[in-house]
């Protein structure tokens, strides 16, 4: 990997929220990344690697809220035991559960010259490096038939296990990836397939929602043939980050960050209520 990669930093700040359990809500994550964008963008924080896990949550994109029978789709997801929220970055519906590890890399945009492609590519490189011990070939290209398809889908042998998104705010950029570590990728995809079928109700829409083929998705446990847990990948993430860092520090939110977090959470919460009701 080139030494001009934005992954090389004098200091990486780690915020690990991967073991907070079911009470940790996905809206809290959005508020967290917005807060960290602000801190890194203003120079108050070094770049941040945040890890997080949310239990049984389907995160919708804004475009999903325009589905003609969205209330039917949401009712179905809730019957299956999932919380439903709407995120503030782009993209479409994704599934989060205890077998999905999420990572955010948060940089100062200007200082690092992090263009959109460079942001995505830094995460592709990071994930490839994390998975290098498993001897797999990780490709980045759109996997048609997956949920939330995009140019930077990550796949092994044509089956998608991860998707990347970005959020840019106040001079900071958060590049986010979800990694399906264990469990069944095709079962997660089947849940979202059913959500779209119920929410579309057979109607034609201007926007083309994905036609999901569950077999296009798999977890890393399925793809590597090893029984991986989120904690295994978390260890690999920290080892990998150590290669790029002068030093690693673990710092909780500062007092100014905490008050900004409270403000951001309220904003995200209110926006989510408006989007869903």
The domain locations on the chain are: 9-276
Q: What percent of the chain has pLDDT over 70?
A: 97
Q: Which CATH class is domain 9-276?
A: alpha beta
pLDDT at 89: 67
Confidence bin at 5 (pLDDT 50/70/90)? confident
Q: Tell me the CA distances in angstroms from 271 to 54, 75, 148, 261, 264, one per residue in order.
A: 20, 20, 21, 15, 10
At residue 23, the pLDDT reads: 92
pLDDT tens string 163-183: 999 989 889 999 999 999 999
Provide CB contacts within 8 A for 224, sequence distance 6+: 134, 136, 156
pLDDT at 1 > cutoff 60:
no
Buried b (16+ CB within 10 A) or exposed e, 32-50: bbbbbbbbbbeeebbbbbb
Q: Is the model more confident about 88 or about 126?
A: 126
Catalytic sites, residue numbers = 148
The predicted pLDDT at position 236 comes to 96
The tally of CA atoms less than 13 A away on the side-chain side of residue 257 is 19
Mean pLDDT of 31-50: 96
Burial class of 94 by CB neighbour count within 10 A (0 to 12, 13 to 18, 19+): buried
pLDDT given at position 114: 80
pTM, whole model, 2 decimals?
A: 0.94
State both tokens at 132: 């290098």
Q: Identify the pLDDT of residue 29.
A: 95
Instruction: Report the Cα 4 to chain-centroid distance in Å.
Output: 25
């Amino acid at each position: 990997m080139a030494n001009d990669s934005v992954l090389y930093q004098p200091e990486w700040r780690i915020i690990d929220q991967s073991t907070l359990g079911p009470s940790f809500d996905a809206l809290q994550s959005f508020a967290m990344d917005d807060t960290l964008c602000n801190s890194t963008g203003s120079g108050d924080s070094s770049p941040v690697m945040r890890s997080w896990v949310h239990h049984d949550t389907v995160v919708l994109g804004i475009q999903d809220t325009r589905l003609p029978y969205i209330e039917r789709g949401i009712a179905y997801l809730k019957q299956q035991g999932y919380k439903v929220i709407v995120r503030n970055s782009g993209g479409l519906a994704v599934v989060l559960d205890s077998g999905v590890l999420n990572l955010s890399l948060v940089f100062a945009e200007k200082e690092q010259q992090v263009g959109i492609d460079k942001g995505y590519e830094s995460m592709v490189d990071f994930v490839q490096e994390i998975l290098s011990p498993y001897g797999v070939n990780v490709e980045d290209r759109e996997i048609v038939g997956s949920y939330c398809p995009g140019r930077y889908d990550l796949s092994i042998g044509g089956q998608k296990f991860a998707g990347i998104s970005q959020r840019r705010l106040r001079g900071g950029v958060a590049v986010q990836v979800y990694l399906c570590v264990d469990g069944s990728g095709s079962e997660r995809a089947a849940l979202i397939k059913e959500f779209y079928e119920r929410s579309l109700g057979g109607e034609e829409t201007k926007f083309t929602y994905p036609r999901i083929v569950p077999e296009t998705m798999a977890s890393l446990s399925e793809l590597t043939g090893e029984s991986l847990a989120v904690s295994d990948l978390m260890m690999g993430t920290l080892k990998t980050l150590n290669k790029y860092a002068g030093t690693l520090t673990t710092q909780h939110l500062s007092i100014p960050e905490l008050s900004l977090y409270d403000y951001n959470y309220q904003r995200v919460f209110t926006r989510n209520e408006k989007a869903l009701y």
